[in-house]
Structure 1
């Protein structure tokens, strides 16, 4: 049952019900003058003939909303990263810590906060700018290669999703989640070895050499699968008509995955070029 207040309103009520009301509708209109009846009927007919409201008119999330917010955040990320690279690359540690905290806060918030998501992007820009300067100093041209590789994986993932060749089924989701859990555990073990001085590579014994290349390729594959899951979530949100503010959450999720993918590309290219 709909709200009776809106049903009885000449503006919000269904004009088809008004015209089909017959004598009941005429009785309702007897309180007004003939001129008023003519104006009301014309208004109602105009409303009935008007085109259906779009998702933007109803305050629902659209693909354009997601694209605009994601593009804006990416632009901010690049500008902040470039400034950090030139002015203070040593701040990457601060950016990493602040980005981690803000990332967790945003991930567990029910309603997206544009301010916190923007601050997270700035922190990640500081982190990526500093770490990219470090990699570029050791391996000339590696940052450009990593950016191109990241954009290529993003484009391929989007094409595969749009074509329907890769579907996000429950089995697909379970496989990705299991793979990511295994990857996180593997990385933690590697960090433990580095803390205790096992191995002499800059990535630890489990992330260097041929094994590091294999793990890097697996990580890139997991990031690409995560992008496809992000695309599916966005499509589902648009289809369900979620509020427009949720476009911030969608953009945040894409930024997180792209940052991860870029870092894996940097690490993989560095290993291939000799760490």
Structure 2
């Protein structure tokens, strides 16, 4: 099958033809994983079936979980380090004193964006680049979270963190138990919407340089429209991630592709977190 998701489109393994035929052989699917999400299991990473073996260890649900855990762990550690090592700020802090935080957000965001583009279009996934992306993303999120904590109170950051993991768990449960099917039109819509949102972000950034920003991504009424839309898109992105993990396991693709899946899910979760942060901040205003 061919993907419209740029993260997976560059992987020949995810787009291998004959995936369904391979997954639905009499053995019930490669590594015991069938096309029905309710029958998913957790094989040992590195194990191979007795027949139809492919070179190298295949990707499993366990290997994806492990790599995603590493990626998210780096995001969290980098965010905590940025929070702890940056100067203390509060509502009375002068604008000049929050400069280090703003610098951390700018450098982290720019670096993470560049590496996200590289990882999305790189044909052979690089674990080192995925981990570097996670660290830079963590630096940006740590600075951003501290700024929101200063402006809107501690509950905003805590609520966004809890909400992000709740969204992940809820989306995974819905995907598995309701057997959600991801079609070509759905993929095309989500990718187009995400690219459109990125385009709006770039436009807003350019306008802000000239003091003419519209407020599409601020904590305002108009900003809430994009925040809610972004949150919904983040959930849709997770559904696409789960679908490609399922298809990848069914294809018996190489274990290294677990890093591609981990990268995609990290992007989706960061997307959800930042939009939840804006939504909660909006309702926390005096």
TM-score for both structures, normalised by structure 1: 0.73
Alignment of 1:204-243 (within 5 A): 204=215, 207-243=218-254
Q: Aligned to 2:106, what secondary structure does the other structure show?
A: helix
Match of 1:134 among 136, 147, 150: 147
Q: Structure 2: how far apart are the matches of 1:192 and 1:271?
A: 24
Q: Structure 2: how far apart are the matches of 1:220 and 1:64?
A: 27
Instruction: Give the match for residue 178 of structure 1.
Output: 192
Q: Structure 2: how far apart are the matches of 1:54 and 1:159?
A: 31
Alignment partner of 1:144 is 2:158? yes
Alignment of 1:26-105 (within 5 A): 52=50, 59-88=57-86, 90=101, 91-105=104-118
Q: Structure 2: how far apart are the matches of 1:159 and 1:130?
A: 32
Question: Once the 2 structures are TM-superposed, how far is the Cα of residue 189 of structure 1 from its aligned partner?
Answer: 4.0
RMSD of aligned Cα (Å): 2.5
Per-residue CA deviation, residues 30-87 of structure 1 (Å, 9 max, x unaligned), is xxxxxxxxxxxxxxxxxxxxx8379899610000000011112211211111011010
Assess if the C-alpha contact under 8 Å between 1:56 and 1:62 holds in 2: no
How has the CA–CA distance of structure 1 residues 96 and 270 changed in structure 2, closer, same or farther, with 3 Å as cutoff?
same
Question: Once the 2 structures are TM-superposed, how far is the Cα of residue 207 of structure 1 from its aligned partner?
Answer: 4.6
Instruction: Give the match for residue 246 of structure 1.
Output: 257
How has the CA–CA distance of structure 1 residues 67 and 128 changed in structure 2, closer, same or farther, with 3 Å as cutoff?
same
Assess if the C-alpha contact under 8 Å between 1:198 and 1:205 holds in 2: no
Give the structure, 1 or 2, with the largest relative contact order (CA under 8 Å, sep 6 or more).
2
Q: Structure 1: how far apart are the matches of 2:120 and 2:188?
A: 20
Question: Once the 2 structures are TM-superposed, how far is the Cα of residue 250 of structure 1 from its aligned partner?
Answer: 0.8
- The gaps in structure 2 that reach 5 residues or longer are 1-48, 87-99
Alignment partner of 1:118 is 2:123? no
Q: Structure 2: how far apart are the matches of 1:261 and 1:118?
A: 19
Which has the larger share of helix? 1
Assess if the C-alpha contact under 8 Å between 2:230 and 2:271 holds in 1: no
Assess if the C-alpha contact under 8 Å between 2:125 and 2:259 holds in 1: yes
How has the CA–CA distance of structure 1 residues 230 and 266 changed in structure 2, closer, same or farther, with 3 Å as cutoff?
same
Question: Once the 2 structures are TM-superposed, how far is the Cα of residue 195 of structure 1 from its aligned partner?
Answer: 3.3
Say how many residue pairs are matched: 222
- The gaps in structure 1 that reach 5 residues or longer are 1-50
Per-residue CA deviation, residues 156-193 of structure 1 (Å, 9 max, x unaligned), is 11112112353211121122123223333443444444
Q: Aligned to 1:59, what secondary structure does the other structure show?
A: coil
TM-score for both structures, normalised by structure 2: 0.70
